[in-house]
Amino acid sequence: MGKRIHDIDRAVVKLGINGIRLVLSAAVMQPIIQRDAAYSMQTGQRLWFHAMECAVTCASTAQERGLEPFKAYLVGLVHDIGKITLFSELSKQFKLNSENIIPESNAFVPIMQLLAPATSYRITRDWELPTELCKAIAEQVSVNPGDKISPYGAILFEANLACETYVAIRPKDAVLAQTLLEELHIPTNMFTELDELSREV
């Protein structure tokens, strides 16, 4: 709009109910995901950026595929909750049991890679999120390209790859990154949306 909205009534009219749901979901999840751990003040920030990027990518992709964007947004937002939980707990345990040694990332990464997807599933199940969203997260434990999985599971898997492509490949090779985006059947303007998101976040 080019100008700020200063009252709730106008925000509701502009955003609509679904827009308000997205904003509230992000507001509730941000302090949970973006919490600092004992050994890395940046980990929570990086996970929050990735969660937001994945949520926006999931929602845009769901809209193109005729699925409910809010459900896809939510699954993208919470899919890595297991990572931050494990990192936080491992940091606490390491601090309790070590003698002022700052651990390298390889002290955390293997166990996080192994346990994070299943931990995310257990947390979302305990939160009683809709069954299809819990299933989508559970499918990430052992999903491979080409596997038959649920529609929301496929969106999450592909959106996650698209977001990793955006961070790791696009800065070095924009053409290759765009090709990968098209092969994943993600909206072709997704990287532009993520650029806008990174400026806002």
* pLDDT tens per residue, range 32-73: 555 555 545 566 678 788 888 999 999 999 999 999 998 999
The 3-state secondary structure of 89-103 reads HHHHHHHHHCCCCCC
Going from the N-terminus, what domains does the chain have, and what CATH number goes with each?
A: 8-200 (1.10.3210.10)
Q: Which structure tokens are listed for 43?
A: 């980990």
Q: Which residue has the higher pLDDT, 137 or 107?
A: 137
CB 57 within 8 A of CB 163: yes
User: How much is the pLDDT for 139?
Assistant: 93
pLDDT for residue 112: 79
The mean pLDDT of 135-158, rounded to a whole number, is 89
5: number of Cβ within 10 Å:
13
Q: How far is CA 161 from CA 46, 156, 201, in A?
A: 16, 9, 20
- Is pLDDT at 144 greater than 60 in this prediction? yes
At 153 the pLDDT is 94
170-187 b/e (C-beta count within 10 Å ≥ 16 → b): beeeeeebbebbeebebb
pLDDT at 20 over 80: no
Q: Say which range, 15-24, 37-46, 50-59, 191-200, has the weakest mean pLDDT.
A: 15-24
Say what the pTM is: 0.77
The model's confidence at residue 128, banded by pLDDT at 50, 70 and 90, is confident
Question: So what's the pLDDT on residue 35?
Answer: 55
Q: Across the chain, what does the average pLDDT equal?
A: 80
